[in-house]
Amino acid sequence: MYKEIVRVKSLDEIETILSKHSDDYYFIDKELKSVEHKNPVKSLGARYLIKKSILDFLELNNEFKDIEIENEQNGKPVISFKGRVKDKIDDKKIRNVQVSISHSRNFVSTLVVIE
């Protein structure tokens, strides 16, 4: 199985989505701290789009905090899973999830590749 999921949203759309809940609904403390010196809408928006892509693929709804996105020193995003998300990934025998993030002045785009 191999699936590519591309999402593109304007910063206005992302702000509207993220304002529906508090930050701790979507993100763990470590993720929130990692964007303190960055544009939070772009950085958190990218994380949200990645998490939403994975949750939609797994047919889950609100398990945002079961997906943790960190960055290596070179900036490469690295994902880890726990809880119901990890269980679904194991059930579907998913071996690898890779992501790419890009943003411009007004848009954020993400690519999620599931193997």
Longest Cα separation, the chain: 39
Residue-by-residue pLDDT tens, the chain, 115 positions: 789 999 999 999 999 999 999 889 999 999 999 888 888 899 999 999 999 999 999 999 999 999 999 988 888 899 999 999 999 999 999 999 999 999 999 999 999 999 9
Residue-level pLDDT at 75:
83
pTM: 0.93
Distance CA 1, CA 20 (A): 34
Residue-level pLDDT at 40:
87
Is 3-114 assigned to CATH 3.90.470.20? yes
Distance CA 79, CA 69 (A): 5
